[in-house]
Amino acid sequence: MAIITKITTQKNNADRFNIFMDKGKGEEFAFSVDSDVLIKFQLKKGMELDEFSLLEIQYQDDIRKAYNLAVHFLARRIRSEKEIKDYLLKKEMEEPVINEVLHKLTEQKYINDEEYAFAYVRTQANTTDKGPGVIKQELKEKGIAEKIGSLALEEYSIEQQIEKAMKLSQKFFNKNSKDSFRIQKQKFEQMLLRKGYSFEVIQLALRETEDSNKDEEFEAIRYQGEKIQRKYSGYSGFEYEQKVKQALYRKGFPIELIERYLSESKES
């Protein structure tokens, strides 16, 4: 049997106590415990502890340590169960200890993956330009069940998605105004797909953009055409015209616009 010989408060943490014991070789530091564990086991000077009791005290103290870490982690913002588990694993907490902490936090309503999912979707929809596909993947990575994630994503209305897609289109097409609409469209579709928007939302955004981009596309073909004409200035006649047409077509401009541009060039 080991006997507690002294209990002292830690200098840097008043909620933890150092336990000194005599295991037959004189007094020595044995372990430290949280104040809650000290009270729970009614630890005091002169108390005898067997090996099983020591193991149980250490186990309960590990739970308390992990719990305190988790609460501190949660204080910054709401977390999913998986985020807390991963955090505690990084802190080298044992799986049984983590499970006890997660159970306790769930009972105390500190953890609720459904509430987390709804809050996460609202935050991402209101503060980022992510589409639902990317948000759904992020929820999955955070350990949110697919059923809960799908339910939460209903908060992200199709109208809100279209509004965001339209804002992205305005910025994108202004930035890439020197390209043909076909090339811009391809790049824009790829960008929105990467951001997690559906094909339906992308097409609705493009339909609005296409109507307002006709004049801009003629400015783009003028810009590209001048460079191409300089490139093939060594050719003449039919060969020159064909090379210019082919080059402009490869850049995504429609035939009717190319013909209009070449006709205008001949007149000027």
Instruction: Tell me the Cα Rg of the chain.
Output: 34
pLDDT tens profile 209-266: 665 555 566 677 777 777 888 887 888 888 888 888 888 877 777 777 777 778 777 7
Sign (positive or negative) of CA dihedral 25, 26, 32, 33: positive
Task: Tell me, yes or no, whether 81 lies in a domain.
Answer: no
Residue 22 maps to a domain: no
Kindly list the strands in the beta sheet with 2-9, ordered across the sheet, starting from the edge strand earlier in the chain: 27-34, 16-22, 2-9, 48-49
Structural domain contains residue 192 = yes
Distance separating the N- and C-terminal Cα atoms of the chain: 106
Domain assignment present for residue 241? The answer is: yes
pTM: 0.71
Contact 125, 156 (CB under 8 A): yes
Q: For residue 18, what are the β-bridge partners?
A: 8, 32
Q: Length of the chain in residues, anyone?
A: 268
Q: How far apart, in whole angstroms, are the C-alpha atoms of residue 103 and residue 84?
A: 12
Domain membership flag for residue 45: no
Both 162 and 208 in a single domain? Answer: yes
Residue 249 falls inside a structural domain = yes
The domain in which residue 189 lies consists of: 157-212
205, part of any domain: yes
Query: In this predicted model, what pLDDT tens digit does every residue of 157-191 receive, in sequence order?
Result: 999 999 999 889 888 887 766 667 778 888 899 99
Which residues 6+ apart lie within 8 Å of 95 measured at CB?
none
Tell me: do 201 and 230 sit in the same domain: no
Give the chain's domain count: 2
Question: Which of residues 174, 196, 212 is at a domain's end?
Answer: 212
Written as one letter, the residue type at 231 is K
